[in-house]
Every structure is written in C-alpha cells, then in structure tokens.
Copies of this chain bind each other. A is one copy, B any other.
Amino acid sequence: MQKDKSTNLKVRLPALVFALEVLTVVLYALFVTYDDHSNALHQNNMTNHRENAVYQDYPFFADIQVMIFIGFGCLLSFFRHYGFGGIAFNFLTATFSIQWAILVQGFLNFYYDGKIHLGVINLINAEFACAVVLISFGAVLGKTSPVQLLIMALLEVPIFGVTEWIVVTYLKINDAGGSILIHLFACYFGLGVTFMLYRPDLNDGHPKEITSYYSDMLSVLGTLFLWVFWPSFNCALTLRGDDQHRAILHTFIGLSASTLTAFALSAMLSKNGKLSMADVQNVTLAGGVTVGASVDMMISPVAAYALGMLGGIACMLGYKYLSPFLARRLHVQDQCGIHNLHGLTGLISSLAAICAILLASEETYGPSLYQTFSYRAPIVGDSRLEELQKQIPGLEGGLGRTSQEQALYQVAALGSTIAIAIVGGVLTGFVLRQPYLASPNDHFCFDDQPYFNIPSDQTEMIKNEKEITLQHVN
C-alpha cells in the first residue's frame, strides 16, 4: 500500500473540512441574508405573525430532517462492521450537503438584489439536494472514505442544482415527489460513480459484507422512519390544500402496497421460504418512489395502490436478477441496490406521471387543473385566462401547453436528467479515484477500522470471527 493511499484522516479530513468551512463562511458573509419572512425589518403594523411562512414549512422540514439524519443514518448502518461508518458518514455528508446546497441553490433560485435570501423553505430545498447525495452514497457504501464522500457531495450538489434549475425553469415538469429529479438523478449519478470505482475483486463477495442481528434491527428502524415520514417528503413542495392532501394519501397508500408486496415476494423468491431482512429494509419503500411524480394529481387511490405494488415487484426482481448482472457484466457494483429502489421505481413513476398528465382534464380537476398543471394555464393576455381567474382569483398565466406537449417535456426532462446524471457521476467517480483521498483498499472495505476508534467488544468479535474462519479453512 502506498503512503498516499493511506486511510489516515489526521491531515486530509481536517484540511478538506476547514477549506470547505472557510469557503462557506466567505460565501455566507458575502451573499446570504434573511428572506422576507425571517427579516425583522419587514415587520410592520400589517404583519400577522401567524402567516409567517415558517409555520407552513417548519413541520415538513423537521420531518424530512428525521428522514435524512435518522432514517438514512440507521438504514445505512446495516453492515456488521461498518455501523459507525454508516451512521456517522451519513451525518457528516448530509450536514455538508445541506450547507452547500443552501449556497448553490441559493445562487440559482433564491438570488435577487445581490443576495441569497434565506428562510426555512431554502432548507427544505437543500434537504432534497442532500437526499440526492445520500441516495448516491448508497451505491458506494463501505467502499469510500469520508474525504471521498465530501468531494462527491461537493461535485454532486452543483451538478444536481443546475439540472434542477434547468428542468424547473425551462422544461417545467410535474414531479412533486422528485421521482425524476431526485431519485433518477441520484441513482444514475451514483451508478456512474461506482462504475468508475469498480473493484473487480469484490464481485465474489467480501467476508465483511455481512450484517449482524442488531445492525439489521437498527437498519429496519431507519426504514421505518423513512416510511413513516415519507408523506411529508412527497408533499413538502406541492401546492397547499387539496394537492398536498392527495400527496399524503397517495404516498401512504403506495408505501402500504409495496410493503405487503415486499413481504410476499421475499418469502416467495427465497430458496428456503424465509424472509430476508434486506428486503424488509429496502423493498418496502419502493411505493414511495413510484407514486412520486404523480403524487399530487387526481390519479385515484387505487392507482396509488397499484403503483405501490408495481414498485415492490420491480424493486424485488431488480435485487434478485438485475443487480448481479450489473455488477458482473457492466462493472456497476451497486452496494445498496439503489438502481432497484430508486432507478426502476423512478422510471415507473415517470411513465405513470405521463399517463396521468395525458388523462388530466377539467372534468376531473375543475379549474384547479391550471394550478396543478400550471403550464397548461392560458398565457397572459388570453381571454380564457381572465375567465378562469374569476373562478380561481390567484391563478397565474401559464404557457398554454396541451397535455400531449407536456408529455414530451416530461420525456425530455427524464432523458436529460439521466444523461447529465450519468456523465456527472462518471466524472465525479474519476475525481474520486485520485490518490490522497484516503480510499480503503479492498481488504478494509465495509469496515470501520480504518476510520474509527472501535470499542474492544467489536475488535474481540472480529478476532473471534477470524479464528472461526481459520478453523473452517484448516
């Protein structure tokens, strides 16, 4: 092992973190100020404190915080010897990603009068960018150092931010739950990264690629936190009122259907008719993604249920048959199977949304059609807009698109998101292959030992396991 490939963090990690912190401080100092709802100067005798945006946004923000830090953190701790790595590197990466996204998205979406204007709504948006990074992290879990993870976040957040900005500003698509922008982007970016970090010797398994009883319990606890709060994730940025109401219902129904399906298929497809905790930890969540792109639409509750079932089936079959194929043939080692949980399901969700868009009519939605599908509202100046505004006073002029036109825009967004994600992921993976980034060698993958001081009970356990293995060999 060359010195420059050492996993020692004593210099590398603080050097990188402090550089990033100084950068953050400088950018905050130069550019970040309060938005109208967090600025004391904007309060006057007309201000009703109850209408401050914080009361709309904070509950959803808090729920998503639980998902990011506790849900993902526990879920990623399933390896027997990499529990510290799972929960702590998730903590580190998420914290940095959110701060970095506040700045990147700030410049792209919240910048005026020479300043980024900051409120809790920015934090929710930044959490979505963070979720992107954490999903990609799943592809390389246990095979990357914290230095590499921070650099991945450093590169992924702006690539995601620009993609999001292009899609939202120019293509204007429906994707309330982020199935396209978040899940598909994160998935293909992560696959691009892991393709570049291909480790041929790990295709035959690794002795530490195992779980323990309590790592599995903690991991399923993470799943449950994600499951419980997923409706908040899918509805946080939808229109207030009935749209948000539907988003909650559909997400809950979709998750329920994928959960039942996951249990059924886990028993059915296992050799001995027993359930696997890995399925309970992952496949149960598929429905949250498949309902995502159409989550605020009038798709009907039964469609949400069917999407959940479909998601569960696709995700399960992916784990069983596609992941091994990707690893052996395409050199894409997808550690947590994000292509199953976020890729296949994201594709299903995108197609479902296109169907829902093509079927959407004033008959079903009433005039609020032009709010949920705002690009379909007549353009400013069109007399039909004025008529509609009599029914919905606040309605803004749109782009006058037909549903068929919109379907094409959705396809365009889908394609361009995946393309940018793959290219961005591959380039990022290339950067992560550089030396000095404390990457673990194959032997120390899925192992806390290179990065953490470990309690003696765990080191004893590792010693015992080695002895058992040696006895088996002899």
Contact = CB atoms under 8 A, between A and B. Distances in A.
Interface in A385-405: 390-393
A409 interface: no
Contacts of A301: 28, 32-34, 118
Contacts of A427: none
B96 A260 contact: yes
Given A228-B69, A245-B52, A284-B91, A451 B38 contact: no
Given A14-B267, A61-B248, A88-B280, 18 more contacts: A10-B272, A17-B261, A17-B263, A28-B301, A32-B302, A37-B242, A42-B366, A43-B242, A43-B392, A49-B241, A49-B242, A50-B241, A69-B228, A70-B225, A80-B455, A88-B220, A88-B263, A91-B284
B87 A220 contact: yes
A303 to B, nearest CB: 9
B73 A368 contact: no
Given A83-B217, A227-B69, A9 B273 contact: yes
Contacts of A25: 302, 305-306, 309
Contacts of A391: 44-45
A40 B263 contact: no
A339 interface: no
B212 A457 contact: yes
A217 B84 contact: yes
A264 B150 CA distance: 12
Interface of A: 8-11, 13-14, 17-18, 20-21, 24-25, 28-29, 32-34, 37-45, 47, 49-50, 52-54, 58-59, 61-63, 65-66, 69-70, 73-74, 77, 80, 83-84, 87-88, 91-92, 95-96, 98-99, 118-120, 123, 146, 210-218, 220-221, 224-225, 227-229, 231-232, 239-246, 248-249, 252-253, 255-257, 259-261, 263-265, 267-268, 270, 272-277, 280, 284, 298, 300-302, 305-306, 309, 364-369, 372, 390-393, 450-458, 460-461, 468
B366 A276 contact: no
A239 B73 CA distance: 33
B275 A453 contact: yes
B13 A264 contact: yes
Identify the interface centre among A95, A146, A255, A451: most chain B CB within 10 Å of its CB.
Answer: A95
Contacts of A368: 40-41, 43
Given A40-B366, A59-B59, A260-B21, A453 B213 contact: no
B277 A88 contact: yes
Nearest to A257: B21
A43 B118 contact: no
Contact of A228 (B53, B66, B210): B66
Given A40-B372, A256-B95, A259-B95, A456 B241 contact: no
Given A242-B38, A257-B21, A309-B21, A455 B212 contact: yes
A457 B9 contact: no
B43 A302 contact: no
Question: Which 4 pairs from chain A and chain B are nearest by CB?
Answer: A10-B273, A49-B241, A17-B264, A8-B273
Contact of A45 (B65, B392, B451): B392
A451 B70 contact: no
A308 to B, nearest CB: 9
Contact of A38 (B9, B245, B280, B457): B245
Nearest to A13: B267
A367 B218 CA distance: 51
Contacts of A276: 452-453
A221 B80 contact: no
A172 B280 CA distance: 41
A227 to B, nearest CB: 7
B305 A74 contact: no
Nearest to A24: B305
A450 B274 CA distance: 7
A227 B65 CA distance: 9
